[in-house]
Structure 1
Amino acid sequence: MHSSGNSLQKPLTRHLLPLAYALAVAVALIMALTWGVLQVQVTLAGFLNSESVWSKAQKQAVIDLDNYALNGSAADLASFRNHHGLLESDRWGRDAIIAGKYSHEDITRVFERGNIMPAAQLGMTFMLRHFSGMPHIREALAAWRSTDASITELGTIANELNTAYRAGGVSPAEIARQRGRIKALNDYMEPRTDLFSIEVVKGALWLGELLFWGVLGAFLIAALLWLRMARRILESIRGSEERYRLLFDSAADAIVMVDEASGRILDVNRTASVWTGRSPGELVGDRFVHLFMQSMAGQKTGQAAANVLLGAKGRTRPVETQTSLVNWGSQPVRQAIIRDISERVALERDRRIAAEALASIAEGVLIADATRQVISANAAHAELTGFTAQALQGKRLDDTRRLPGGQPLPPSIWDSVAAGHNWMGEVLSTRSDGSSYPEHLSLSTIRDADDQVVYYVAVLTDIHEAKANQHRLEHMARHDPLTGLANRAEFERHCAEAIAVAERERLAVVVLFIDLDAFKIVNDSYSHAIGDRLLVKVAERIRRQLSEGDVAGRIGGDEFTVLIPRLILREDGRAIVSRLLATLSEPFLVDDYEIVLSASIGVAGYPLDGDNALALIANADAAMYAAKTEERNAFRFYTPMMHADTRRRLQLAAELRQALARNEFQLVFQPSVELRSGRIVAVEALLRWQHPERGEVLPAEFIPVAESLGLIRRIDEWVMQTTCAQIQAWDLAGVPPIRVAVNISARWFGHPAFVDGISRNLQSRQLAPRRLLLEITESAMLRLGDDIERTMQTLDTLGIAVAIDDFGTGYSSMAYLKLPAVTCLKIDRSFIIGLPGNSNDAAIAGAILAMAKSLGLTTIAEGIETEAQHDFLLRSGCIEGQGYLYSYPLRPEEVQHLLCPNQPPVPTRLKLVPPRRS
């Protein structure tokens, strides 16, 4: 990677500067060593020159002294003395330098006399002074010193010869002797002089080699040290570059290096590659502006600017870019740092949304500082209270709020909130106009990093309407929605309170249980809407008869209760009971209908009939049931015997639920004979309950209980399935085919699955529809209302015949006789009992028979018990009859024997009594 800008050049310079210094030092050292070698060479040259001069001077001194001994020439003596003086001067200079006792001028004169080159003088002085003991120099100096005495003796010979020649001459013998001495001295000095020369040369060679290897070693050491330093510096540079690349690539922000001149990307870090979804190779060379969705025109260096970075597959990322201009060597480069601001944008968006939500929220919001001074309020608060944000400045959050009782908000609330808990509750808030309203207040805090309270946040809601709704709901929860009277729970609560007061004050409490007589007929005849409006008028009449403190309630359907507290005796309630019976028996005008009702009332009192609300209501209910059973439009005071009857009914209801599962029901069949021939043409299926302990329970006792429990439809379905199964069994036994009538209850007749259920039963047993006759009372047909004609049409299409049962006891509507599927009309036994003596019964029966004949309907008389009744009905045109005159209800096997007398007899309890013929 290129070094980027001044920030990278400075560290690189700092890295390379020691290397440059080391190189300079190495070069300087080598130059110094080279210069030292040159100086040593010059010094060696001086030594060689000095050796040459000294050797020549010594040889010449011997020659001059020998010539002077032969001829006594003054010139030879002068030449000797000159050369001998040079030798003495060199010896003095040598010893003075080695001893260190000399002056620079004296040594200079010695070197100048020896004709030593000036450049070598200082080096020779230095070497003699400090390195006289080094190899070869030491031997050369020793050879030089060994000639000192001989040179001195040469001077002595010269002085002796000079003295002799001055004295008049020297004898040949003396000359010979002196020359012998000279020769002996020369022979002694000559090898030492040569040894001096050789050692000086060897010293020069040795020192030259030493200097060469020293310089080479120094060069090698310097080179090795420099290379080692260079390696360490390069490793440091490489490590710095790797660390820079690591930091460059691991930076959380994207970094892009851009050529300033062309605008193209030179390098990117890993983050930039990841964010753009492109590899570094794909990014390098592309234009920097291509990375962004928005134009970058106008962005200034060093200033951050927001933009949108383009990613892979159309993804985008909100970013902030900041650029700076740097240099890569001489190349201007723009370094761009791209920072992801997604979180900041999201926080800003959340903050904006929160601000907008705070401004638009329906609840009022107040923000107060740590001293509870209001600093901010939303628009909803101003709308609720009338206080603007400016009007709240300087006010405390709790200045306009009190507890519902008017007390200031206690410090415990603020202590709890400051401790980190939220507080919610109802307060009374004051508006700007001075009015007040109930408010639901929620308090919480915003804390800093040290968990200190910085702000209080209050969220408030006007709960005036909610409290009104709550009161309405509470009233609805405690009162009957139709009549406005107390419901069961509220009535029981009032009753319990009245009993508690009566217990303290030794008074009596009376509970009345009122049930409307025959209210079901009103619903069936006029519709449930009329029935509901009638119940409202009944509640109004009951309420008008009550005194202050009395409570009326409706606990279900057409059942009402009345609480009369603070009586002396239970019997004191007789007066109000009588008034209620009288007012409820008066006609009611509902819409255009005048409806006459009556009521049965049961009376129970504390403490005689019970010591709690449930007991009083239950006992009053039992007394009402007794009144309804015995008389109607009457009242009864509770007695324990009534409760026993009630318990019996409850027990009967519990046992009835298990009767179907335990297969305790059975069918018996009562024959229907053709009056003219006495032939059995049909049977009617009658339900019996064979109780394991009570024995046979008649339908009149358990059918009303089954209807109240909602079990009647299941019982009807069982009767239909069992009847169809029995018809199939008779057919398989060869019994002549007869019609079987089945009674249908109002609840099942009105069920959506009624027709389909009958059709499936017939098909599953492969029975013809004409084998079945459905007996339906007028009240059952009334339950269907407008659907009666459609149901009858469906039955007629299936071929199933219908008989109207108990005709004449209900509304005797002629419209029902014209409905499809109606083929039979059954005359109720109440009109048969008085025949033929009772003229009214005879007239009614005759009219019914004449009407049925004109409509083409088959008539069936019920309850025929005498021959006179049989004869009258036969003469009047009745087709069929049922009754004990012909047969009691029979078990299936008895019917089979009756219709097939040739089959083996079956023991029977009853015997068929055919009518006598006249």
Structure 2
Amino acid sequence: MPLAYALVGMVGLILALTWGALQVQIALAGFLNGESIWSKAQKQSVIALDAYAGKGNVADLANYRLNYGVLMADRWARDQTALANYDYDAVVGALRRSKTVTVAIPGVIFILRHFADAPYMRDALQAWRSTDSSIAELDVIASSLEAGYATGKISDAEIALQRERIGAINSYIEPRSKLFSRAVADGAAWIGQVLFGCVLAAAAFAALLWLGMARRILASVRGTEERYRLLFDSAADAIVMVDETSGRILDVNQTASVWTGRPADELIGDRFVHLFAQSLSGQQAGRAATNALLGADGSKRPIETQSSLANWGSRPVRQAIIRDISERLAMEQERRVAAEALASIAEGVIIADADRRVISTNAAHVDLTGFTSQSLLGKRLDDNRRMPDGKPLPQSIWEGVAAGHNWLGEVQTTRNDGSSYPEHLSISTIRNADNQVLYYVAVFTDVHEAKANQRRLEHLARHDPLTGLVNRAEFERCCSEAIAVAERERLAAVVLFIDLDAFKIVNDSYSHAIGDRLLVKVGERIRRQLSDGDVAGRIGGDEFTVLIPRLGLREDARMIVSRLLTALADPVLVDDYEIVLSASIGVAGYPLDGDSAAALIANADAAMYTAKTEERNTFRFYTPIMHADTRRRMQLATELRQALARNEFQLVFQPSVELRSGRIVAVEALLRWQHPERGEVLPGEFIPVAESLGLIRRIDEWVMQATCAQIEAWNLAGVPPIRVAVNVSARWFSHPAFVEGVSRALQSRQLSAQRLLLEITESAMLRLGDDTERTMRTLHTLGIDVAIDDFGTGYSSMSYLKLPAVAYLKIDRSFVTGLPGNANDAAITEAMLAMSKSLGLITIAEGIETEAQHEFLLRAGCVEGQGYLYSYPLKANEIQHLLCPNQPLAPARLRLVPPRRN
């Protein structure tokens, strides 16, 4: 009786511990189940939101909202249980909405309420809470995408940015989700170990009580046990004998011990449910059920269990046969992955039988062709496919595929709606062990867009992206073809080289955007003047070319060139601006002017340069001497670079006299190039070359330094102080270091700023831009005056006359030459003098050569004058002699011719 009472007590204790363990395991199972649902909802919400971002499908947004609701329900339930007073039924309802196992809900709430700070649980909840803001950010992104797709104003760049944010949020949440799962699992394992220890202790105590009884019956059953063990341990499946009443393991075979990694004596006495990762509730005797067998190292082996009841004496025993199904599951997984991959790939896939009749297609096939799998069943896969020339797929294709080769090619496919599209098709086979064809597999892609992109790229490779005209490479190819035709048919092919006059002024005055739109309109005008077969091209900047093939003579192009000049001279309306330009055109023709495309283009370019240099708004036919001029300019450019290094430049000075008294009040420094072989080279010949090479600023700086050095030399020689004017190019005047350079040149020679006058042409003022006023104010602060040279010949407004540093106005010689006889020149000159007087500007007239001009300007109020009437440009020592006549001077070729005075 004491043994019976002890046994009852131990059984009760074990049952109590088992019930407690079950309750804890159920609660933890609820956590694990909730985590699985939460993790799946998190992943599905990310996947759905990413799909919605990519395609804007409303179904994807709805799927996202559904999974997001699960996440919010879990989060609300977690936060509610942390409050002092919370609605228990509402929390239960939230957990049910999140699909938490119903039986585990009370345990989940109890653990959240009372054991939130327990080991492992604290880490799990902390990991869970750390994802709240990221999940909330997903909803912000969803709302932004929904608004963007609703208005239709969402860009590809914004979509890519939002998808990148979604990916970043998923990358943040995923490791914390895993941390939550691991913490809950570790807690479950820890509690299981504690409960297992208690159960094991109780089992050990019970074993001690029954040890004596076992010893007495051991001898009688030893022989039977050995026979049974031999059969039991040799089974390929794991066999576990379980006490039906207590659920404890009574016996295991060798296979069970190997699979669990635990010795048999450790397994015996343990609870049968502890062997598995999932609950055994609901498993019926005699029916197979899948589960996962736990290994001692934490590994899981997929298994299938089948149990039956038997009696050991009067004890009901459950015999559980455990079969390893790893290989079967792996094969099923491979088939599932293959099926999902087939369904999800972007290419269309058709699987046909050995007679080429369709048996299956993937989703992409429906999207590409409009045919469903059901509508194609039994039809041949090549019924709606033709070769690009419209012929059926030849039998040779199928013979080659049946022989073991893959076929790749382009076909024309008809959609369900009757339309067709180009398709890149690949056909292969699946064979049996006897190498016989079982199935044909066709993979295809719609290449319509790819071919369109290829055509677009080919067009861009041959055409100018701004104007749509052909580019240089394509134009040269067309020229080569035209030359070949002209040679074969004894005709002429003509190339026109068109360059817009003063296009840079348009860019500088308006903007480069206006300039680009102007070039587009110019290209359109050129195209309208051409005939079919003529080719227009843009080879860079404002340079256009035209090919006129199949002419009888080169001169036959004269009419077309005249039309082009007239068309390009008409005003062009760009936005709100009316722009007037002209063009210079060079003409070169095969066979007279060259026998290759490169030669014709180069010679037409040379002819254009001659037209621009001589007249502008005109055209010139190529002559061989034009290339000689080009070579001369190139030689001049080379020598000009050397001239700076060799100090071949020098200054001469032309006096400026006061008209009323005839007194020399100033001189203008003029640049000359003393070439070692060609002698003196005038500025009109080399200054344009220097500007094109970017050397003009260095030349200006040299002139400034040389002028200041000469002023210093005159001061040391006792020459009366006079004003010295220096011409400044627009390029140097607009340079950031201009003012500092001028100031440094004066300071290095200790010269007064009043001794220096800077001259800049009116046309150059137009190109200076917004920094002009700031530069003028700085010069005025330094005490340096500025003169506007060649006044009356520019195109700008007269607002610059009000700038602070402007103190002098130089009347261009083109107005002085006609005085006093030309009424127009006289009226213009008098108007400029009157305006200058009202603005307080000192006027200087250029190019005075006669007494009549002198008298007219004096009466009209001009203050100073320059010209051959008074003096030619003189060397520095000759100027010194004029101002200091008592100093000796070597004989000079030039003499001063003072004006007559009344």
Question: Under TM normalisation by the shorter chain, which class is it?
Answer: 0.5 to 0.7
Specify which of 460, 468, 471 is matched with residue 444 of structure 2: 460
Displacement after TM superposition at 1:390 (Å): 1.8
**Is 1:405 the counterpart of 2:389 in the alignment?**
yes
Partners of 1:881 and 1:294 in 2: how far apart?
112
Displacement after TM superposition at 1:877 (Å): 4.9
Bigger mean CA deviation after superposition, 354-363 or 384-393: 354-363
1:692-744 residue CA offsets vs partner (Å, 9 max, x unmatched): 76565544334444555xx32xx244245545655776688795798776655
**C-alpha contact 2:666 2:725 (8 A) present in aligned 1:** no
Displacement after TM superposition at 1:813 (Å): 1.8
Partners of 1:702 and 1:388 in 2: how far apart?
79
1:649-675 residue CA offsets vs partner (Å, 9 max, x unmatched): 45555666x558956774636466463
Partners of 1:816 and 1:733 in 2: how far apart?
34
1:280-311 residue CA offsets vs partner (Å, 9 max, x unmatched): 99999999978987656567899674559799
SS in 1 for 2:788: strand
Partners of 2:546 and 2:859 in 1: how far apart?
56
SS in 2 for 1:755: coil
Partner amino acid, structure 2, of 1:888: P
Specify which of 615, 625, 633 is matched with residue 599 of structure 2: 615
Quote the residue 1:648 is aligned against: 632
Relative distance call for 1:465 and 1:907 in structure 2 (3 A) is: farther
Identity over aligned pairs, percent = 65
Unaligned runs of 5+ in 2: 1-225
Partners of 2:393 and 2:547 in 1: how far apart?
43
SS in 1 for 2:736: helix
Quote the residue 2:740 is aligned against: 759
**C-alpha contact 2:762 2:788 (8 A) present in aligned 1:** yes
Partners of 1:734 and 1:458 in 2: how far apart?
96
Relative distance call for 1:289 and 1:759 in structure 2 (3 A) is: farther
Quote the residue 1:813 is aligned against: 797
1:622-643 residue CA offsets vs partner (Å, 9 max, x unmatched): 3333334444444433322233
Partners of 1:811 and 1:259 in 2: how far apart?
112
Partner amino acid, structure 1, of 2:651: V
**C-alpha contact 2:657 2:864 (8 A) present in aligned 1:** yes
Relative distance call for 1:781 and 1:764 in structure 2 (3 A) is: closer
Specify which of 643, 648, 651 is matched with residue 668 of structure 1: 651
**Is 1:848 the counterpart of 2:832 in the alignment?**
yes
Relative distance call for 1:606 and 1:730 in structure 2 (3 A) is: closer
Partners of 2:274 and 2:723 in 1: how far apart?
97
Displacement after TM superposition at 1:815 (Å): 1.8
Displacement after TM superposition at 1:475 (Å): 4.0
**C-alpha contact 1:268 1:283 (8 A) present in aligned 2:** no
Quote the residue 2:588 is aligned against: 604
1:416-468 residue CA offsets vs partner (Å, 9 max, x unmatched): 77888876543211122433222334556778899998765544333434444
SS in 1 for 2:766: helix
Relative distance call for 1:300 and 1:575 in structure 2 (3 A) is: same
Specify which of 586, 602, 609 is matched with residue 625 of structure 1: 609
Q: Normalization by structure 1: what TM-score?
A: 0.56
Quote the residue 1:700 is aligned against: 684
1:516-562 residue CA offsets vs partner (Å, 9 max, x unmatched): 44555555556556655555555455444444433344444444433
Relative distance call for 1:857 and 1:395 in structure 2 (3 A) is: farther
Bigger mean CA deviation after superposition, 842-851 or 724-733: 724-733
Relative distance call for 1:840 and 1:371 in structure 2 (3 A) is: same
Quote the residue 1:718 is aligned against: 698
Partner amino acid, structure 2, of 1:490: E
Displacement after TM superposition at 1:855 (Å): 2.0
Specify which of 503, 509, 513 is matched with residue 493 of structure 2: 509
- Where does 1:484-523 land on structure 2 (aligned, <5 Å)? 484-521=468-505
SS in 2 for 1:644: helix
Bigger mean CA deviation after superposition, 259-268 or 662-671: 259-268
Relative distance call for 1:290 and 1:897 in structure 2 (3 A) is: farther
1:83-123 residue CA offsets vs partner (Å, 9 max, x unmatched): xxxxxxxxxxxxxxxxxxxxxxxxxxxxxxxxxxxxxxxxx
Partners of 2:836 and 2:263 in 1: how far apart?
103
Relative distance call for 1:292 and 1:554 in structure 2 (3 A) is: same
Partners of 1:877 and 1:849 in 2: how far apart?
7
Partner amino acid, structure 2, of 1:850: A
Partner amino acid, structure 2, of 1:759: E
Displacement after TM superposition at 1:406 (Å): 2.0
Specify which of 301, 304, 320 is matched with residue 302 of structure 2: 320
1:386-435 residue CA offsets vs partner (Å, 9 max, x unmatched): 21112232344433222322234456666777888876543211122433
Partners of 2:783 and 2:433 in 1: how far apart?
88
Displacement after TM superposition at 1:808 (Å): 0.8
Displacement after TM superposition at 1:364 (Å): 3.0
- Where does 1:421-436 land on structure 2 (aligned, <5 Å)? 425-436=409-420
Quote the residue 1:636 is aligned against: 620
**C-alpha contact 1:317 1:340 (8 A) present in aligned 2:** no
Quote the residue 2:367 is aligned against: 383
Unaligned runs of 5+ in 1: 1-236
Quote the residue 2:46 is aligned against: none
Number of equivalent positions = 656
Q: Normalization by structure 2: what TM-score?
A: 0.57
Relative distance call for 1:787 and 1:353 in structure 2 (3 A) is: farther
Displacement after TM superposition at 1:879 (Å): 5.2
Displacement after TM superposition at 1:259 (Å): 11
Partner amino acid, structure 1, of 2:627: H
Partner amino acid, structure 2, of 1:856: G
Relative distance call for 1:266 and 1:635 in structure 2 (3 A) is: same
**Is 1:888 the counterpart of 2:873 in the alignment?**
yes
SS in 2 for 1:429: strand
Larger radius of gyration: 1
Partner amino acid, structure 2, of 1:668: L
1:869-917 residue CA offsets vs partner (Å, 9 max, x unmatched): 66665665555555564563758xx699789989999999887849568
- Where does 1:870-889 land on structure 2 (aligned, <5 Å)? 876-878=860-862, 885-886=870-871, 888=873
**C-alpha contact 1:265 1:288 (8 A) present in aligned 2:** no
- Where does 1:337-356 land on structure 2 (aligned, <5 Å)? 348=333
Specify which of 555, 570, 575 is matched with residue 571 of structure 1: 555
Quote the residue 1:174 is aligned against: none
Partners of 2:653 and 2:268 in 1: how far apart?
108
- Where does 1:541-552 land on structure 2 (aligned, <5 Å)? 541-552=525-536
**C-alpha contact 2:289 2:306 (8 A) present in aligned 1:** no
SS in 2 for 1:609: coil
Partner amino acid, structure 2, of 1:718: R
Relative distance call for 1:360 and 1:760 in structure 2 (3 A) is: farther
**C-alpha contact 1:824 1:857 (8 A) present in aligned 2:** yes
Relative distance call for 1:292 and 1:812 in structure 2 (3 A) is: same
Partner amino acid, structure 2, of 1:825: L
- Where does 1:657-806 land on structure 2 (aligned, <5 Å)? 659=642, 666=649, 668=651, 670=653, 673=656, 675=658, 678=663, 684=669, 697-705=681-689, 707-708=691-692, 711-712=693-694, 715-719=695-699, 721-722=701-702, 725-726=705-706, 735=715, 743=727, 745-746=729-730, 754-756=735-737, 758-759=739-740, 762=743, 770=753, 775-783=759-767, 789=773, 802-806=786-790
**C-alpha contact 1:673 1:679 (8 A) present in aligned 2:** yes
**C-alpha contact 1:299 1:305 (8 A) present in aligned 2:** no
* CA RMSD between the two structures: 6.1
Relative distance call for 1:637 and 1:887 in structure 2 (3 A) is: closer
Partner amino acid, structure 2, of 1:815: S
Partners of 2:266 and 2:805 in 1: how far apart?
91
